[in-house]
Chain A
């Protein structure tokens, strides 16, 4: 097991190096040079040269890259152009928001998707099964941002039940030691704030969780159908175990393998979807942050933000692989 983890960690090295080169080169490929985006369109050539010298942009590219890697390794991602604050400070505010949203979406997707898929498989071929298939296909086919707009329209505009923008009501005063607002509310012991944060999370989480929900339901259905016909399930039934015990211990536990993998693979999709969901709900997370940065050519934010998001994504995939190996002993050998 340890060897497996070490090998996977070693595989991370080329990915991270490649990723950092890619992001570094990409920033240089942007139409507006960093100096211009810092100084604005009307900068004189002299001041541009000055800025370039100040940021080391006049040095050869490989030296620039090494300096950049050195800074990243020290945890210095530079300062943003728009607010002139350290990128890491803004990251610390934005990242927890997206994580909170993503976790809420994943909870929605799995807590609903697994039972749905299970029921569909158990009622294989009936209308329950068919309608769950149709629904899940529909779920995959709705663009996240369109669903978000629809939810906003029905629950916020028409029914007035839930808030439409942000993470928390402006009127609520809450300290943010962790920036995970749910945690912050708990730390402060403020239940009203806690409930308010939850209300702000419901619609974005449903919008973001819809595709993973559909995928989870489909995979669960397929996995349960697969496992149901295995010899050990027949044996378990033959020796007289109650259907419930067979369902729980034999079918469900084995079906969980592909389900875990698929849920892990959804992270990339969730991070992409978060960009769109956050835009619709003006949710101050990584997504809105990066999109704003693109519009304003805020290159330190882009560089740091994309690198960070990708790093998280790669690490989550690694964790999925490791947990998979933990659940399934057969993987470890190969």
Chain B
């Protein structure tokens, strides 16, 4: 082996692993995060391949299958039993994953993009722009989240898009404040001053230096926001403000009338509830793991 080769290897060994590869490595060694990935993996798999997994049409049922009672519980024919309209609960749960995933992702995308836009403006320009935007977030945060979402659905009318917007809007102020805070913290950092002193323009500094360094808390919050969004969507559905078509297999909506059948058919409440818990827990576990993995204070450990 030549000296050059040995040196090359040493340099390679010494090269600091980047923030992301390091974070990924620690994430894989965190058992809780791994469980989170498994849960979310199941959730994604079911949502994507719903038509292949579900044995029956989730929307239409057959009352004659109930045999006059509500409602037959889990059996060999129907893994999760039948609901009060004679529909296969398993198929409804499987298709419900699609709605939760779709509504969750779109609403977080709405909240995240609008929130980041205003957060970036507020944090970068400061002054009166900052004050106006921050007072707006104060006002939005002064209405309890679910009430705000209910109010928006009431104004826009019921429907999947309206729910996405409603839940997304409730998340705007959180993302705006988060990004603003982390921009304010990085704006005064030495490397930003250095970039400014060599004449790099404002927009380039924002894009190349400030945003990349402010983004990790946003990613953590985004993951946790998915969990919150799924819960909020289910909450709206539970209150009867879900998708207007009663045949839609939305998890929260599936829980709405079940309290009436608690005595005879507890599975109608328990199964959709557990489905919500599993998916929400998955995102929470990943978010938590990410927070630890991306936090420089924890670096080098684990």
Q: In whole angstroms, how far apart are the Cα atoms of A29 and B153 in the complex?
A: 11
Decide: A143 near B234, CB < 8 A? Known: A271-B144, A291-B150: yes
Decide: A272 near B280, CB < 8 A? Known: A149-B258, A294-B154: no
Task: Say yes or no: is B208 at the interface (Cβ < 8 Å to chain A).
Answer: no
Stretch at the interface among B73-81, B182-190, B281-289: B281-289
Task: Say yes or no: is A115 at the interface (Cβ < 8 Å to chain B).
Answer: no
Q: Name the prevailing secondary structure of the A interface residues.
A: helix
Q: In whole angstroms, how far apart are the Cα atoms of A290 and B149 in the complex?
A: 13
Stretch at the interface among A42-50, A239-247, A309-317: A309-317
Let me know if B270 and A295 touch, CB within 8 A: no
Return B243 CB to nearest CB of chain A, in Å: 16
Stretch at the interface among B55-63, B82-90, B259-267: B259-267
Task: Say yes or no: is B193 at the interface (Cβ < 8 Å to chain A).
Answer: no
Q: In whole angstroms, how far apart are the Cα atoms of A297 and B153 in the complex?
A: 12
| A140 nearest CB neighbor, chain B only | B284
Decide: A149 near B259, CB < 8 A? Known: A143-B276, A279-B238: yes
| A307 nearest CB neighbor, chain B only | B143
**B231: A residues at CB distance < 8 A:** 143
**A313: B residues at CB distance < 8 A:** 142-144
Let me know if B238 and A15 touch, CB within 8 A: no
Let me know if B135 and A141 touch, CB within 8 A: no
B230-276 interface (Cβ within 8 A of A)? 231, 234-235, 238-241, 252, 255, 258-259, 262-263, 266, 269-270, 273, 276
19 residue pairs bridging A and B, Cβ less than 8 Å apart = A14-B135, A15-B142, A18-B136, A26-B151, A30-B155, A138-B277, A143-B273, A145-B255, A146-B277, A153-B270, A157-B266, A273-B146, A294-B150, A294-B154, A306-B147, A309-B143, A309-B144, A310-B142, A313-B144
Decide: A141 near B142, CB < 8 A? Known: A150-B273, A309-B147: no
Decide: A142 near B150, CB < 8 A? Known: A271-B144, A279-B239, A295-B240: no
How many residues from A make CB contacts under 8 Å with B? Answer: 47
Task: Say yes or no: is B105 at the interface (Cβ < 8 Å to chain A).
Answer: no
Return A74 CB to nearest CB of chain B, in Å: 22
B138-177 interface (Cβ within 8 A of A)? 138-139, 141-147, 150-151, 154-155, 157
Let me know if A150 and B281 touch, CB within 8 A: no
A297-325 interface (Cβ within 8 A of B)? 297, 302, 306, 309-310, 313-314, 317
Task: Say yes or no: is A276 at the interface (Cβ < 8 Å to chain B).
Answer: yes
Return B174 CB to nearest CB of chain A, in Å: 11
Let me know if B135 and A18 touch, CB within 8 A: yes
Decide: A153 near B262, CB < 8 A? Known: A141-B227, A306-B147, A309-B147: yes
Q: In whole angstroms, how far apart are the Cα atoms of A310 and B141 in the complex?
A: 9
- Closest 5 interchain pairs by CB? A272-B146, A146-B273, A141-B281, A271-B144, A18-B139
**A11: B residues at CB distance < 8 A:** 138
**B151: A residues at CB distance < 8 A:** 26, 294, 302, 306
**A185: B residues at CB distance < 8 A:** none
Let me know if A26 and B155 touch, CB within 8 A: yes
Q: B255 touches which one: A22, A146, A268 (CB < 8 A)?
A: A146
Let me know if B277 and A275 touch, CB within 8 A: no
Decide: A268 near B155, CB < 8 A? Known: A143-B231, A143-B273, A152-B262: no
Centre residue among B139, B142, B240 by max chain A CB count within 10 A? B142
Let me know if A137 and B144 touch, CB within 8 A: no
Return A265 CB to nearest CB of chain B, in Å: 10
Q: In whole angstroms, how far apart are the Cα atoms of A146 and B280 in the complex?
A: 13
What is the number of contacts between chain A and chain B, taking CB atoms within 8 Å? 130
Q: B142 touches which one: A19, A31, A142 (CB < 8 A)?
A: A19
Q: In whole angstroms, how far apart are the Cα atoms of A143 and B234 in the complex?
A: 8
Let me know if A272 and B147 touch, CB within 8 A: yes
Let me know if A149 and B135 touch, CB within 8 A: no
Decide: A149 near B277, CB < 8 A? Known: A18-B136, A268-B145: no
Return B49 CB to nearest CB of chain A, in Å: 24
Let me know if A19 and B139 touch, CB within 8 A: yes
| A293 nearest CB neighbor, chain B only | B154
Centre residue among A11, A26, A149 by max chain B CB count within 10 A? A149
Let me know if B239 and A275 touch, CB within 8 A: yes
Return A293 CB to nearest CB of chain B, in Å: 9
Q: A149 touches which one: B143, B240, B269, B281 (CB < 8 A)?
A: B269
Let me know if A272 and B239 touch, CB within 8 A: no
**B285: A residues at CB distance < 8 A:** 137
| A282 nearest CB neighbor, chain B only | B259
Q: In whole angstroms, how far apart are the Cα atoms of A153 and B262 in the complex?
A: 6
Let me know if B238 and A276 touch, CB within 8 A: yes
Task: Say yes or no: is A206 at the interface (Cβ < 8 Å to chain B).
Answer: no
Let me know if B144 and A268 touch, CB within 8 A: yes
Q: In whole angstroms, how far apart are the Cα atoms of A15 and B138 in the complex?
A: 7
Return A17 CB to nearest CB of chain B, in Å: 9
Task: Say yes or no: is A280 at the interface (Cβ < 8 Å to chain B).
Answer: yes
Q: B238 touches which one: A141, A145, A152, A271 (CB < 8 A)?
A: A145
Return A156 CB to nearest CB of chain B, in Å: 8
**A291: B residues at CB distance < 8 A:** 150, 239
Return A204 CB to nearest CB of chain B, in Å: 13
**B235: A residues at CB distance < 8 A:** 143-145, 276
Let me know if B259 and A152 touch, CB within 8 A: yes
Let me know if B154 and A141 touch, CB within 8 A: no
Q: B141 touches which one: A133, A268, A276 (CB < 8 A)?
A: A268
| B281 nearest CB neighbor, chain A only | A141
Let me know if A141 and B277 touch, CB within 8 A: yes
Q: In whole angstroms, how far apart are the Cα atoms of A153 and B258 in the complex?
A: 11
Q: In whole angstroms, how far apart are the Cα atoms of A166 and B263 in the complex?
A: 19
Return A214 CB to nearest CB of chain B, in Å: 10
Q: In whole angstroms, how far apart are the Cα atoms of A309 and B146 in the complex?
A: 12
Return B99 CB to nearest CB of chain A, in Å: 15
Decide: A149 near B147, CB < 8 A? Known: A141-B280, A275-B239: no
